[in-house]
Structure 1
């Protein structure tokens, strides 16, 4: 029975715990409506609360009927429902993304914002076995490594996929058996999208001509790849400490130690450095190979990569950094409590939440900090530097000019505009990734704590 199968998956992957609030992403389609009904049956047994989030993309003329179905179903089941409206076509044009990419980005942003509003939030998505196979095939067609072959993880951070062991046929049978109403999105049948072509053309052809168990074999392959990828990643992080020196936003790779490593590990190290420099977006196999070949080039040879990243051969090392000529323009974004704010200029996010006062376990992470909430007087913003900026630092009588701080910290001039600042009015609270203001630190008299986290955009990416 499907309910028991989903329950088994939830327990196998430790997806939820008693007291959690599960936010279900419900489009109105078959998969998500089925997920909603099954969670409604399991919520008491699991000791959880559930709510629904629906995103209206403003693309299809009949999308309003999806909203009506989701809202009426939630009303009937007495489940809270939150609907958000967006003009995805307009936003996609503005962000220079495809409709698929923009729609996905919006959905996950909305899910995450709702998660921050609830207690112990988890985000449940209706991906199933067939979605997993399609994702693996898509990645293989574009060219990928173990991570891409690993497809969709059952659990990633706060995102859970309780249907990951179920087939589309099982979900369809359950909906018909229990007379669950759902909406058919006609765009799923159009062979203008890559995923739809794989679903309607590639997979049926392979099943008919080569292997009727093709989908399950793809899923098994993904499971093996994820396990092996996790193992190799652990080795890579260990070796990076031995062969790389980081100074500010520049990475120096010791070639003697680096070249002694297996080629698999060397490639992975390069990818990890590129990730830490800002983004893997638009990074291709050829770019990794070009960096590896630098080891055998003459001194001062360099290559230019996407996102302004440059790799340069020194005497016994490769230095990877971001070119100063790709100067970051001035940016400023309002930051609100219990939300995740996207900083487009840096492909990053800032997440803010309020905590009960604690004096222990103050985070030491460079990108997670605590502040005394009651000392904040104005609306919080994240921006880059402005003329006259200063910060309160221990041992300094009054404030230290930000320019002087950057000079003393030996932060290259070309990197200074890229460093985000968390500010309270005109006062710097945190030079993100560096110092925090002495004035806003948590003390014995602190009553409320503001926790702020900073993430790169790809830390939220998922299939």
Structure 2
């Protein structure tokens, strides 16, 4: 018995070092009191001296079980017996699921990770240890296959992702139950793990046993091997995707990524789709994961789309086909309007700052250095209130030196200004019309002439990220 326990411990320490990259420091441990988390905490406790690690156990009541108080009492007793600090917290999972309009499983998982991350940061922990086993990996891979997935989904869970570690991925649940029995340890049983209301439970109690009985007795190991092979392929794809994204990148901010379409087109379609998926994950901060249907629509746009056509991802993000580039961004910025008094500075969030001087007399030596973002105009021609706003459909103005007026749309097209930039260009206007298309051109009516006696100095400072 002791020999088996020592073998499990030796494999566990090897996994901690080689798979999870642990060589000391503080670890926050998710501890529910169930068999997997109990085995995890016990093995980590045994390894404290050998690996020079400190442990902080965290128990979370998800508000779903009548026996939650008994679970808490059990976890408190275990941590007292093993001389470990324990933090307890509570989630209102049902309320969060209703608010976010998501499943109870998803709300519980996301809330749990949020609290664990909070305590890891508060205690300056190197890692968060989770009790996922090889069985959990098999269930995850099957769930992803049933939902529809690619290489990344087949890879399942990783040994380490950022600061989350899963040192039990190399162990089947039966091994850990035997380990606990050999060590004389009791554990808590969560009755919600038996409920067929949850997809994972149906996979665990119905699908996996049927696959084991009728197709492959070693299905759990086989699915774990599939995940490992897929993880290697995914690692290569991620590296290729990252290099392709950097090579194609023209511009990047929190809300927009612009890719060179000619360089982008030189890659195989499989790499193109992964580049779009990666860019979308960055822009959405991981909130949106593109699926197979999304990628079909992306491919259709790239193959047959015209300039100005878009593909939407949910209600917040989109991909736009533009002149010489592909734009992945949050949905177009809302139109903006700001009043600006003479002698005042106005900030347009996400765009920049516009300054309009007080009227000043014209002098012979007054001139500006060449700049797209500074202009002098005839103050007497600026009638009424000054408004700074975004472009509106049908806007017209008289470009400096031109024979007459033209629409801003045609003006932008003539100047080859990309579609994705046009909505971000401020217009300085007054009762008489557009004074300045910022960074581009003033209206001919407001130019400084020999008859000009009073000037306004207009300036724009672009926000940089």
Which gives a bigger RCO, structure 1 or 2 (Cα 8 Å, sep 6+)? Answer: 1
**Structure 1, residues 72-93: CA drift from partner, whole Å, max 9, x if none?**
1111111111000222112221
The reply on whether 1:318 has 2:263 as its aligned counterpart is no
Normalization by structure 2: what TM-score? 0.69
**Structure 1, residues 140-181: CA drift from partner, whole Å, max 9, x if none?**
111111111111101111111111111100011111222212
The reply on whether 1:266 has 2:266 as its aligned counterpart is no
Deviation at 1:63, TM superposition (A): 1.1
The reply on whether 1:293 has 2:310 as its aligned counterpart is no
Provide the residue aligned with 2:170 in structure 1: 165
Change (3 A) 1:212 1:240: same
CA distance in 1, matches of 2:31, 2:283: 35
Change (3 A) 1:247 1:222: closer
| Equivalences for residues 116-127 of structure 1 within 5 A | 116-127=121-132
SS at match of 2:276: helix
CA distance in 2, matches of 1:166, 1:283: 31
CA distance in 2, matches of 1:402, 1:214: 61
Deviation at 1:323, TM superposition (A): 2.1
Deviation at 1:94, TM superposition (A): 1.7
Provide the residue aligned with 2:79 in structure 1: 74
- Is residue 20–residue 166 contact of structure 2 (8 Å, CA) maintained in 1? no
**Structure 1, residues 285-321: CA drift from partner, whole Å, max 9, x if none?**
1111212221222333333321322323334443332
Deviation at 1:405, TM superposition (A): 7.8
Provide the residue aligned with 1:382 in structure 2: none
Provide the residue aligned with 1:406 in structure 2: 351
Change (3 A) 1:169 1:327: farther
| Equivalences for residues 388-427 of structure 1 within 5 A | 402-403=347-348, 406-407=351-352
CA distance in 2, matches of 1:327, 1:141: 42
- Is residue 149–residue 291 contact of structure 2 (8 Å, CA) maintained in 1? no
CA distance in 1, matches of 2:32, 2:225: 28
Paired residue total: 351
Deviation at 1:325, TM superposition (A): 6.3
Deviation at 1:95, TM superposition (A): 2.2
The reply on whether 1:131 has 2:130 as its aligned counterpart is no
- Is residue 282–residue 306 contact of structure 1 (8 Å, CA) maintained in 2? no
Deviation at 1:404, TM superposition (A): 8.2
Change (3 A) 1:258 1:114: same
- Is residue 149–residue 225 contact of structure 1 (8 Å, CA) maintained in 2? yes
The reply on whether 1:218 has 2:218 as its aligned counterpart is no
Q: In structure 1, list runs of 5 or more residues that go unmatched.
A: 329-385, 389-398, 417-432, 436-463
Provide the residue aligned with 1:13 in structure 2: 19
SS at match of 2:213: helix
| Equivalences for residues 69-148 of structure 1 within 5 A | 69-148=74-153
Equivalent of 2:233 in 222, 228, 232: 228
In terms of Rg, which structure is larger?
Answer: 2
Q: In structure 2, list runs of 5 or more residues that go unmatched.
A: 1-6, 355-372, 374-419, 426-462
Change (3 A) 1:326 1:315: closer
Change (3 A) 1:160 1:325: same
Equivalent of 2:263 in 252, 257, 262: 257
Change (3 A) 1:192 1:299: same
Provide the residue aligned with 1:151 in structure 2: 156
SS at match of 1:58: coil
CA distance in 2, matches of 1:67, 1:265: 48
SS at match of 2:127: strand
Change (3 A) 1:199 1:106: same
CA distance in 1, matches of 2:242, 2:165: 26
The reply on whether 1:48 has 2:53 as its aligned counterpart is yes
